[in-house]
Amino acid sequence: MSPSRVLPSLDFTTFHNIVDGKPRGGEATYHGINGATETPLWEVPVASQQDVEDAVASATAAFPSWSHLPYSDRVKAVRAWGDEFAALHNEFTELLITECAKPKEMIAKYEVDLASKNVNAYSDLTLPEETLKMEDRTVHTRSVPVGIVACIWPVIVSINKMAPALLTGNCAIVKPSPFSPYTALKMVELGQQFFPPGVLQVLSGDEKLGPLLVEHPKIHKVSFTGSIPTGKAVMAAAAKTLKRVTLELGGNDAMIICPDVDIKTVAPQVVWGAFRNSGQACVCSKRIYIHEDIYDEFVATMVQTTANLKIGPLQNKMQFEKVKGFFEDSKAQGHEVLIGGDIPTGKKGYFASPTIIRNPPNDSRIIMEEPFGPIIPVQPWKSEQEIIARANDTNTGLGACIYSADVERAMRIGRDMECGSVWINSYEKPTAKACMSGHKESGIGGEGGESDMADFQAHQLCMAVVCVEQFDAQYLKKKKKRKGSSEA
């Protein structure tokens, strides 16, 4: 972007869909709710079927020129968009705080910083090509864009779908969560200053919008982040037109603590890894397994740390009610609550106290299901073989963490984890420079790194014969030789 270019300012109090490079309203509107105060937020339009058709038509028209633009030019456009997003760091941080009631210093600023860094991380990646030279021909394997991509992701890190989709030459239609549409709407609005009309669009809406996008015959890929049941519905709908899908779904990550760790150092990290963003992260520690030799001391340190921890509310009422169900179930089952276990009464907001449950049964709900909230079980373990089996006893496989002073031991345990990502001596910290994928019902495909870029592309094989006459002569000679051999 030229330093002399003057960009139009964004109004962070009005929100529109973006179709064909222009803002668009709608006959119907809805609004989000601030999770801390339960007050209604700004009205946003509900996209109609005609809006979907218009967005697809615009993307179809924009695709040929955008996909043929040199990769270096697409990188420049995406970087310029990311730079301007970074320049509006304070505005997007405040919007995210209002939209999701995230604590400013611990979460909101971090997520905006991360989104900016991820744009640059994706822009640093290259598109692989392979060349194979044979006796009579040269074989090129290259990657080409798949076409129009529907990006369905809640909140601000939808940039992890938009950036690779655009860099690889696709056009993107973004559908934000109806609970938190605002940051995505503004990010796409900002993008209109850097991309041709139709390259990057956004449609907000209700529960009818997702199926319209997923089932549309002219949308070629769906990249979805959300729950396992919704992911299964997306996959079933996409199968009607054999769309490519990337599904980043729920997880029930295990964190394994070996007996040789420094308790005072590791226990606070475990607490933060479990309760950051109030437990609302797909890749987040949900089950804590601590070796029996240090179990009591480690748990006591976790409780002490948790007592001083301040977390924000849950993002919406639906999730709040689900988490309340886990609290009520643990209480009904007589689980030992070490700290928390209650829903604050007499105050506004979807708040739940950070809660630690001591050694519930292996078949209890808090062990078998993902709460997606601030409640975790802590269980002791004795042998590696036993804990590996328990950690893998789940239908999900997103991530796992192992803490040990013996890195080789931690790596050995990690190799047997049935999940897409393993962190050694750290809680979950994904990076856009490497692919994070899900095993089992945690998803298909991955996000981050060159593997993620490849998921937004199709392979194309191109064989160039060195000399047609020479090739024909060699082919006929070989054919004659094979015929002679068969007659003999």
Of 171, 282, 401, 435, catalytic: 282
Q: Which two tokens stand for residue 452?
A: 């993620």
Cα gap 157→25, rounded to integer Å: 24
Q: Is residue 487 flagged as an active site residue?
A: no
Of 99, 111, 248, 447, catalytic: 248
Determine phi and psi for 111, rounding to 5 degrees. -65, -40
Q: Is residue 248 flagged as an active site residue?
A: yes
DSSP string, 196-237: -TTSEEE----TTHHHHHHT-TT--EEEEES-HHHHHHHHHH
Cα gap 315→322, rounded to integer Å: 12
Q: How many CB atoms within 10 Å of residue 83?
A: 14
Single-letter amino acid code for the residue at 188: V
For tokens 């890894």, the residue is: 273
3-state secondary structure of 320: helix
* Rounded (10°) angle between helices 109-123 and 89-100: 120
Residuewise pLDDT in 10s, the chain (488 residues): 333 344 568 999 999 999 999 999 999 999 999 999 999 999 999 999 999 999 999 999 999 999 999 999 999 999 999 999 999 999 999 999 999 988 887 778 888 999 999 999 999 998 888 898 888 888 888 889 999 999 998 766 788 999 999 999 999 999 999 999 999 999 999 999 999 999 999 999 999 999 999 999 999 999 999 999 999 999 999 999 999 999 999 999 999 999 999 999 999 999 999 999 999 999 999 999 999 999 999 999 999 999 999 999 999 999 999 999 999 999 999 999 999 998 888 889 999 999 999 999 999 999 999 999 999 999 999 999 999 999 999 999 999 999 999 999 999 999 999 999 999 999 999 999 999 999 999 999 999 999 899 999 998 989 888 665 555 555 556 556 665 555 55
Nearest to 429 by CA among 392, 399, 395: 399
DSSP string, 408-427: HHHHHHHHT--SSEEEESS-
For tokens 């993902």, the residue is: 370
3-state secondary structure of 172: strand
DSSP string, 248-294: E----EEEEE-TTS-HHHHHHHHHHHHHGGGG--SSSEEEEEEETTT
Determine phi and psi for 144, rounding to 5 degrees. -125, 155
Q: Which two tokens stand for residue 51?
A: 């809006």
Radius of gyration of the chain (CA): 26
Angle at alpha carbon of residue 415, lines to 414 and 416, rounded to 5°: 90
Q: Which two tokens stand for residue 304?
A: 């002490």
For tokens 């369905």, the residue is: 152
Q: How many CB atoms within 10 Å of residue 176?
A: 27
* Rounded (10°) angle between helices 71-87 and 182-191: 130
Contact criterion met (CB below 8 Å) for 59 and 171:
yes
